[in-house]
Structure 1
Amino acid sequence: MDKLVKIHQKQLAQQELDSAWNSARRYAQKSRSENTWRAYQNDWQQFEAWCLKLNLRVLPAEPETVAMFIASQAADGLNPSTLTRRLAAIRMVHLGAGYPSPHNTIFVSEVLRGIRRDWGRPPERKAAAIDEEIKKMVDAAESKTLKYLRDR
């Protein structure tokens, strides 16, 4: 009888562990939106393809590889917020696979900081609209209304 009780207790304990594990995984999945997870997946695929094209190790990646990747992406016109998200995806995959994140280095941080500074240049100022241009814009907007069409 004791043996049956112990088996039953083990089964209950295993069920509780399974339930706790499933709950933990569900909460981890909910830690970010579905769109964020999709973006991370795409970001990792971009990094992976770039590394494979240049015959560089993907996992674990060297910090210099990550720095060159974000520099290359910046040269292609990607903005710093996209690059930051790509770094987050690279970090998630590395940590999930049991490797330290290659982006937690001074060099990668400095490369990203340089990209942000370069990107952060103020845009060229446009000339202010003059009175005639403003009148044309207002007239164009008014000509689209039903009241204008009725009263013309």
Structure 2
Amino acid sequence: MFLEGTLIGSNIVHKDFNAVGVVDDTSLVFLEYPQKDKGIEGLIHVRYQGKIIVGVQIGIGVIGSNSVIGEFSLVNYHAYISGKLGPSTFYHIVFRRIDKDYQYPELEGESRYRDPEEPTQNLGHFRLEQVLRGGSIGYLQISLLENETIFNQRYYDKTMVEVGIKCEL
């Protein structure tokens, strides 16, 4: 059994993205200085490694910002399991979920993420691997993702199927 506790502090200055303020309770306006975020997050990770590998990680965090769209608290959950299905067949299942609670939920504005691929909020990966002749590995992976767009509080779903061969050269 493995137990790990982690405390993470962050200080981010978005030099190319100005902070956002509110005018008249509803209108968002870009301010004349960059967005600055400070955060703290605590994580607890428990893992068992035997014939199967099973793990769970739970985290709680708070992000403060000089921008009204950058302040939120979060809780994240991460679980995984890996094992053997046969003599040369393996499975891997991974789930992750991040629940955000924005400080100003009535404001739906640009998020601090400029790339919608960056903030994968929730995901599920299902993967099968088969050891092939010569030590190569063939695999099939299905991924279900939910990301936050470049606008906070708007999400989109994405499904990917990946088939490949891993080999050492």
Give the TM-score taking structure 2 as reference length. Answer: 0.19
Give the TM-score taking structure 1 as reference length. Answer: 0.20
* Higher normalized contact order (CA 8 Å, seq sep 6+, divided by chain length): 1
